Amino acid sequence: MKGTHTGWTEQEDRALLETVLNARRMRLPLKTAFDAIAERTDRRPNSVRNHYYTQLKPVEKAEPTFLPFSEEETDRLLTAVLEALAKGQSVRACTLEMANGDTRRMLRYQNKYRALLKTQPERVKKARAKLIAEGRLVPDPFVRDPDTPHVGRPPKAGCEMERSIRALLDTLYRNLIALTQGENAG
């Protein structure tokens, strides 16, 4: 049974931070760090996690959680992504390149671009028009190329293919039930 503790020593805090940083470097879940420290300090993993997020995480962070985009940064992002699309590059590849391989920054850029498509379509169209006026051929990001396979979630219910698959599965299920009961499958 785990003991009761009333505080963390500086040595325990350092060990926790070091273990978390090692887990990140090795691309392991933070839970592995919390479990390891829990074992070493005779604490519960949830207590270790809570201590990390309430006491140590704010100290460890070098950059704020939410960093708003400036107008200039947004314009540079739009131009870079639209130019990359013109070269046949994906949004993900472009933003990863912009982030110099930093996946956290890449996601920040990618999410901002996707948000601009949804919330500020006129701004995106204006940036595209500016590039076209400069003589660059830029595809319309609001029109999906039928030759490009769709990546992401499948369309919601109501899709003809989904209905066909559902009907096929229902028929297979009924046939399986009939076979297990010794009846002729139809």
164 and 129 in a common domain: no
Is residue 150, in this structure, part of any structural domain at all? no
Same domain assignment for residues 42 and 79: no
Both 37 and 84 in one domain: the answer is no
Q: Are residues 98 and 49 in the same domain?
A: no
Q: What pLDDT, in 10s, does the model give residues 59-91?
A: 555 555 567 889 999 999 999 999 999 998 889
**Does residue 118 sit in the same domain as residue 171?**
no
Show the domain range for 84: 71-133
For the segment 146-173, what is each residue's pLDDT rounded down to a tens digit? Answer: 666 655 555 555 566 777 787 788 788 7
For 139-172, the DSSP string reads: --TTS--TTSPP-SSPP-TT-HHHHHHHHHHHHH
Q: Is residue 75 part of a domain?
A: yes
Please state whether the predicted TM-score (pTM) of the whole model is above 0.75.
Answer: no
Residue with token string 């060990």: 15
- Tally of structural domains, the chain: 3
Q: Are residues 53 and 78 in the same domain?
A: no
Per-residue pLDDT at 13: 86
**What ranges in the chain are assigned the alpha helix state H?**
10-25, 30-41, 45-51, 57-60, 71-86, 91-98, 103-119, 121-133, 160-180
| Per-residue model confidence (pLDDT) at position 159 | 62
Tell me the pLDDT tens digit for each residue of 91-140: 999 999 998 888 888 888 999 999 999 999 999 999 999 999 999 888 89
76 and 122 in a common domain: yes
| Residue 109 sits in the same domain as residue 76 | yes
Same domain, 43 and 93: no
Residues 33 and 52 in one domain: yes
For residue 148, tell me if it sits in a domain. no
Give domain status of residue 101, yes or no.
yes
Residue count (the chain): 186
Query: Is 100 domain-assigned?
Result: yes
